[in-house]
């Protein structure tokens, strides 16, 4: 009790000190600057009215689309952008401090229809040309303040309808019944195979994303119905756009978060460019080692971006993001040795980079990106006698050249087309799998060794024609893909989307399309003479969107997705491939290192509801509610439709936040989901695949998270602190099941109890 009282006095003391300095800093004033462009062609828009809501301050954009608003005090603001011929847009959650000027990059969308006599309303929700259904956006601030997501871009999307996760400790996304490997991630026009630390090979999930959210401009997530511009994935699209560095002033940020610590730097490069750089390191290894844990992870990540503008029409940017992941095993006792024998240890080194040139024509815009992705995997697993049962030394390197061209043909027609070629320039695999743990469909050991190097070529070409006629917007596209390592090397994907504006606040949307995905590289070496076809998914989505208020959106959608050519497992004829991370050779064959045949089929259907409110200074309450009802089934080589491994019939999410004032903010999140199905075990510890996914479902998952943020606006620097409490009520959720070889019975994976964490940011 005495210790608690002492802590309370210490907290009160620092609160008084920081509040005193914050009050002293109120005399300082700062500004908001930015640039407004046409989302259609990237051209600057002159004469846009920019108003700071709740004040009498504002500005107009000049002939370069730039504006500046001076005389503001530190705090949180919303800016309203309006111009004739464009939809009015409101940018909220703009944090203004004494440390550095705020620079915004705003894209306005041309109006589809003008209705006389109708009140002009702003939109708090962005609209994107490429997708018309199933699309949501996040800002870095929305990700940061969401309880329990650990500032992870991917975890934040799990709040949206149609999205499930495989387990609490990972961010593998299950989008409308699709496996994690079906999700596409694009960072500044670079397609990235996996954006996570300790990522799972052959898919794209992991424990934590490597992207630093401090430099995120926007995250656009689409659960389906995306246009022909995007390919080689059959479920979702996540586009991550990064800010350019500060063009006005050098500054930075020191971070101590729930998972690690780091340093950010940014600033101008002469008068025509800017940069940012960040470096972060985890401290989990220090905690795990002190607690005598068996498995001790450590990671680093780095990212940097250089942007340079030659003139009003030409600019280039260079981005590089890398990560180093290490694991130390503490085998100093039999319990630790046994625990470590049940996990495939995922050490990795990876990076992705891209050089992008952007050129603006009179009525068109051209983007050319040269990209490179590289990952070196060193995955291994030993049994309880420290005998190696799995070794996987692999390298996957890919170089890409991507060109996109968008042209405005007339006031109602836009044409876009492009091409991307990917060269698998460094694909090397040295793999050993102990036959005792790689059993065929007769239960016989099937040891596997491979040491091979090869190269591949992929190509994707698309064309899309979009038109706005009256209350209708139609986008029709055609995509052609080529992969030299599949049986069918050429495949064509037609797609169409239509939206109809019932009135200025209500819209019906519809999309229909075919999507293909080529096999992951490691699947090609899973067995001798592996010969696969691309996965095919035909999708139809029908939705209704209503915005009764500027800052409130209600979205209702139904979807149906039908699969063909899904990788079916020869050794497990009842199942299709569904890797999900935290691999364990003693439980199942990892990464798809097994014979596969493109004969699996399946379908997924569902109903989704999303209600979302954005932050508004008039009512500083924000949040979302999402409900998903769905069903997913797959058939393996035996042709019997069975419930999918990732079937969550009901998912419920609610997240709420309230900004008490510019200094204090509280937020809350609750998630509940019906558990996934399980497969019973035989007495020898092997799964009974004759009853695949026919066992009891896991219990209902429930978790409550809570967060408090406090900001101090000081004269020469700012301090942001937070307390994030995951699993507030210490619910012991069962997230998986496996066989306990020691006690010869099944055991459940259980989530941690209450997990509090604190963070401190120093902005300078």
SS (H, E, C) 492-514: EEEEEEEEEEEECCEEEEEEEEE
Q: CA-CA distance, 507 to 498, in Å (whole number)?
A: 10
Q: Is the pLDDT of residue 12 over 60?
A: no
Contact 278, 304 (CB under 8 A): yes
**Domains held by the chain: number:** 2
Asked whether residue 474 carries a pLDDT value surpassing 70, the answer given is: yes
Please choose, from the candidates 745, 665, 229, 252, the residue with its C-alpha nearest in 3D space to the C-alpha of residue 481: 229
Residue 126 lies in a domain: no
Instruction: Identify the bridge partners of residue 52 per DSSP, sorted by sequence position.
Output: 79
Same domain, 61 and 179: no
Q: Are residues 355 and 455 in the same domain?
A: yes
| Residue 434 sits in the same domain as residue 543 | yes
Tokens of 118: 């109708």
Query: What are the residues facing 482 on neighbouring strands?
Result: 459, 490
Question: Span 256-265, mean pLDDT?
Answer: 87
| Residue ending a domain, choose from 108, 143, 176 | 108
**pLDDT at residue 697, rounded to an integer:** 95
Write out the residue range of the structural domain in which residue 77 sits.
2-108
pLDDT of residue 137: 85
Strands 237-242 and 184-187: parallel
Say whether pLDDT at 444 is over 70.
yes
pLDDT band at 276 (very low <50, low <70, confident <90, very high): very high
Statement to judge: residues 157 and 33 lie in one domain: no
Contacts of 332 (CB under 8 A, 6+ apart): none
Q: Looking at the domain assignment, is residue 185 inside a domain? A: yes
Residue 11 pLDDT exceeds 80 = no
**Are 69 and 169 within one domain?**
no
Report which listed range, 87-91, 442-446, 500-504, 563-567, is most confident.
563-567
* 227 Cβ contact list (under 8 Å, min separation 6): 130, 131, 462, 464, 475, 477, 495, 497
Residue 26 reports pLDDT greater than 80 = no
Confidence of residue 27 (pLDDT cuts 50, 70, 90): very low
pLDDT for res 132: 57
- Among the residue ranges 167-171, 273-277, 343-347, 394-398, the one predicted with the least confidence is 167-171
Question: What are the angstrom distances between the C-alpha of 655 and each of 52, 143, 439, 667, 670?
Answer: 27, 12, 45, 7, 6
Tell me how far apart the alpha carbons of residues 712 and 725 are, in angstroms, rounded to a whole number: 21
pLDDT band at residue 421 using 50, 70 and 90 as cut-offs: very high
Cα gap 210→322, rounded to integer Å: 8
- Shared domain check, 450 and 360: yes
Residue 460 lies in a domain: yes
* Residue 119 domain-assigned (yes or no): no
Residue 128 in any domain: the answer is no
What is the Cα–Cα distance from 167 to 584, expressed in whole angstroms? Answer: 15
Query: DSSP letter at 236?
Result: -
Residue 481, pLDDT above cutoff 90: yes
Q: Are residues 648 and 737 in the same domain?
A: yes
CA dihedral 18, 19, 25, 31 (to 10 degrees): 100
The torsion defined by the Cα of 230, 234, 240 and 241, in degrees rounded to 10, comes to 10
Q: Are residues 740 and 673 in the same domain?
A: yes
Contact criterion met (CB below 8 Å) for 229 and 462: yes
174 and 100 co-located in one domain: no
**pLDDT confidence bin for 317, thresholds 50/70/90:** very high
Look at residue 694 and tell me whether its pLDDT is greater than 80. yes
Helix (H) or strand (E) holding 303: strand 295-309
pLDDT at 667 over 60: yes
Identify whether 533 is part of a domain: yes
Please say if the pLDDT value at position 122 is more than 70: no
Residue 1: the pLDDT is 39
Question: How confident is residue 118, by pLDDT bands cut at 50, 70 and 90?
Answer: very low
**Looking at residues 432-453, what average pLDDT do you find?**
93
User: Would the pLDDT of 18 be above 50?
Assistant: no
**Confidence bin at 127 (pLDDT 50/70/90):** low
Looking at the structure, do residues 641 and 735 belong to the same domain, yes or no?
Answer: yes
Mean of the per-residue pLDDT values of the chain? 89
Q: Which two tokens stand for residue 159?
A: 């709040």
Mean pLDDT of 7-36: 52
Tokens of 638: 């035996």
Q: How far apart are the first and last CA of the chain?
A: 38
Instruction: Please indicate, yes or no, if residue 528 is contained in any of the structural domains.
Output: yes
Residues 6+ positions from 291 with CB-CB distance below 8 Å: none
For residue 14, how far is the Cα from the chain centroid? 37
Q: Which CATH number covers residue 716?
A: 2.40.170.20
Tell me the H-state helices in 332-488.
334-340
Confidence of residue 9 (pLDDT cuts 50, 70, 90): very low
Please give the torsion angle defined by the CA atoms of residues 336, 340, 342 and 348, in that order, rounded to the nearest 10 degrees.
160
Q: Looking at the domain assignment, is residue 117 inside a domain?
A: no
Is the predicted pLDDT of residue 676 greater than 80, yes or no?
yes
- The CATH number for 27's domain is 2.60.40.1120
Query: How distant, in Å, are the alpha carbons of 472, 473, 520, 597 from that of 577?
Result: 41, 38, 11, 10
Strand partners, 569: 596
Q: What is the pLDDT of residue 112?
A: 59
Does residue 11 sit in the same domain as residue 149?
no
Same domain assignment for residues 519 and 647: yes
What predicted TM-score, i.e. pTM, was given to this entire model?
0.91
Q: Is the pLDDT of residue 652 over 80?
A: yes
- Do 227 and 131 contact (CB within 8 A), yes or no? yes
Q: Which of 92, 108, 124 is the last residue of a domain?
A: 108
């Amino acid at each position: 009790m005495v210790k608690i009282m002492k802590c309370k006095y210490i907290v009160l003391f620092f609160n008084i000190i920081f509040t005193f300095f914050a009050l002293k800093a109120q005399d300082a004033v700062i500004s908001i600057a930015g640039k407004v462009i046409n989302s259609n062609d990237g051209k600057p828009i002159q004469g846009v009215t920019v108003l700071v809501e709740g004040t009498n301050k504002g500005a107009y954009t000049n002939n370069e689309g730039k504006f500046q608003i001076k005389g503001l005090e530190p705090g949180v603001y919303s800016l309203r952008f309006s111009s004739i011929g464009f939809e009015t847009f409101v940018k909220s959650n703009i944090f203004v401090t004494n440390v550095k000027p705020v620079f915004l990059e705003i894209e306005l969308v041309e109006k589809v229809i003008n209705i006389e006599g109708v009140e002009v309303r702003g939109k708090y929700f962005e609209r994107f040309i490429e997708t018309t259904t199933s699309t949501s956006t996040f800002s870095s601030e929305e990700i940061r303040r969401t309880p329990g997501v650990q500032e992870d871009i991917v975890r934040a999307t799990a709040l949206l309808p149609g999205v499930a996760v495989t387990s609490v400790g990972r961010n593998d996304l299950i989008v409308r019944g699709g496996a994690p490997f079906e999700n596409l991630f694009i960072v500044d026009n670079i397609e990235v195979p996996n954006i996570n630390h300790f990522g799972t090979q052959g898919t794209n999930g992991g424990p934590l994303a490597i992207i630093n959210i401090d430099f995120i401009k926007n995250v656009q997530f689409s659960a389906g119905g995306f246009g022909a511009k995007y390919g080689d994935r059959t479920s979702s699209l996540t586009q991550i756009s990064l800010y350019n560095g500060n063009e006005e002033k050098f500054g930075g940020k020191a971070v101590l978060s729930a998972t690690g610590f780091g340093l950010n730097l940014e600033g101008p490069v002469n008068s025509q460019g800017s940069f940012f750089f960040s470096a972060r390191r985890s401290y989990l290894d220090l905690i795990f080692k002190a607690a005598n844990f068996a498995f001790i992870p450590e990671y680093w990540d780095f990212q940097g971006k250089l942007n340079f503008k030659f003139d009003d029409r030409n600019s280039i940017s260079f981005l590089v993001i890398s990560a180093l992941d290490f694991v130390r095993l503490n085998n100093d006792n039999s319990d630790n040795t046994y625990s470590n024998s049940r996990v495939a240890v995922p050490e990795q080194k990876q990076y992705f980079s891209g050089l992008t040139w952007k050129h603006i024509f009179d009525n068109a815009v051209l983007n050319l990106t040269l990209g490179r992705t590289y990952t070196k995997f060193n995955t291994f697993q030993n049994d309880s006698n420290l005998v190696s049962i799995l070794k996987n030394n692999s390298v996957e390197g890919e170089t890409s050249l991507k060109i996109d061209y968008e042209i405005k043909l007339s006031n109602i027609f836009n044409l876009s087309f492009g091409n991307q070629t990917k060269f698998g320039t460094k694909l090397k695999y040295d793999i050993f799998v102990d036959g005792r743990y790689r059993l065929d469909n007769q239960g016989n050991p099937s040891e596997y060794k491979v040491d091979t190097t090869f190269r591949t070529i992929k190509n994707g070409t698309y064309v899309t024609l979009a038109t706005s006629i009256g209350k209708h917007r139609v986008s029709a596209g055609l995509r052609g893909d080529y992969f030299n390592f599949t049986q069918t090397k050429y495949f064509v994907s037609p797609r169409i989307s239509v939206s109809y504006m019932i009135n200025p606040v209500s819209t019906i949307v519809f999309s229909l399309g075919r999507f293909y995905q080529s096999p992951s590289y490691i699947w090609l070496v899973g067995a001798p003479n592996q010969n696969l076809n691309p996965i095919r998914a035909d999708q139809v989505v029908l939705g209704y969107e209503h915005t009764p208020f500027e800052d409130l959106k209600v979205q209702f959608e139904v979807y149906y997705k039908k699969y063909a050519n899904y990788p079916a497992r020869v050794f497990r004829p009842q199942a299709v491939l569904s890797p999900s991370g935290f691999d364990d050779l003693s439980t199942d064959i990892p990464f798809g290192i097994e014979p596969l045949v493109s004969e699996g089929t399946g379908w997924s259907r569902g109903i989704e509801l999303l209600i979302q409110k954005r932050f508004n200074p008039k009512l500083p309450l924000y949040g979302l509610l999402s409900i998903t009802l769905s069903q997913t089934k797959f058939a393996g080589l035996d042709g019997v439709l069975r419930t999918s491994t990732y079937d969550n019939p009901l998912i419920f999410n609610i997240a709420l936040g309230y900004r008490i004032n510019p200094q204090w903010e509280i937020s809350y999140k609750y998630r509940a989901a019906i558990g996934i199905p399980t497969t019973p075990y035989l007495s020898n510890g092997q799964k009974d695949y004759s009853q695949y996914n026919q066992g009891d479902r896991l219990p209902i998952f429930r978790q409550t998270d809570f967060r408090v943020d406090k900001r101090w606006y000081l004269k020469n620097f700012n301090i942001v602190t937070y307390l994030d409490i995951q699993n507030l009520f210490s619910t012991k959720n069962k997230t998986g099941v496996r066989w306990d070889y020691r006690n010869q019975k099944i055991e459940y994976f259980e989530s941690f109890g209450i997990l509090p964490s604190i963070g401190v940011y120093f902005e300078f």
